[in-house]
Structure 1
Amino acid sequence: MQVIQHPAETLRTALVSSRCDLTDRYRKYSREERRLLEEGLHPGDGSLFQPITVHSDSDWIPSHQEEPQDFQSFYSNPYSSMPIKGHSTIYIQIIGSFGEAEAETGQYVEWIRDYCQAFYYGLVVKLLPPVTVAATGCAFRVNSSSRNLQIHAGDLVP
């Protein structure tokens, strides 16, 4: 296993912005909101952010090379998901069966729930009961390389 841990200075550079509107917004955050953001500068020291563990070369990070993204470009991205006023709950639902990996999958779903709860600070994240692929009415295919079932996400998310 490989552990990916960025130096604090790299993280600080990514979070600091030269845009006045962003720095003004940061000053208006509550002490708890600033703590959440600043804890990212010291991964492994706090309770929210831990170094990323890469288990194999097929994990996302080694197999999908991406350009680094700083906070300013993330914040300015018109496609980033932001909570909608009046909506305060995120629902997560397992689709399909994971067979022998069912117990492991439950732990992963809990981790996803915890991550969403931290990322969308202030929103409630609830797990819904699992449903079958057929119950979704979605288009799907079997990936020719991995032989895994893939559901057409456009049928799930409006």
Structure 2
Amino acid sequence: MSIVYKRRSIRKYQKKDVPDELVKEVIRAAMHAPSACNQQPWHFVVIRDAETRKKVAEIHPHAKMILEAPVAILVCGDPSLEKCKGFWVQDCSAAVENLLLRAAELGLGAVWCGVYPREDRVKSFQKLLGIPEHVIPFALVPMGYPAEQPTPEDRFKPERIHYEKW
């Protein structure tokens, strides 16, 4: 079965560190995502510090699992790097999906926690992590070795497919 079908959002993690090499590998996969005009408008902030993770859990109401995760990656978009204006959100979305799939291939668990377009979250992450004002925190991905194994589920819905016209 393809990793596309096996990947699940993991919110519980073992008390085991994730080596830097694996963190770099999932970011490498993220950087291989397609992007409009090959603009690659992304930046990544690796978060390991326990105090910083506590502050992140206070900022983001749906990211409490970061307290258990040994590492999190904040994917940010930089509109100043755009060649094709307006596509940074799609580009960063593709990067996050690549990151999630590579993490699953490596035996890691991860979950996508949205930051953008919630202005309060964007500003709070910029302040907490010293992110320049023109760089937009897009998605937080807590990651670690899974302490849960959700079963794959079939999400295929043929009624959502339209051929030629609606």
TM-score after normalising by structure 1: 0.29
Rg larger in 1 or in 2? 1
Between 1 and 2, higher relative CO (CA 8 Å, sep ≥ 6) is seen in 2
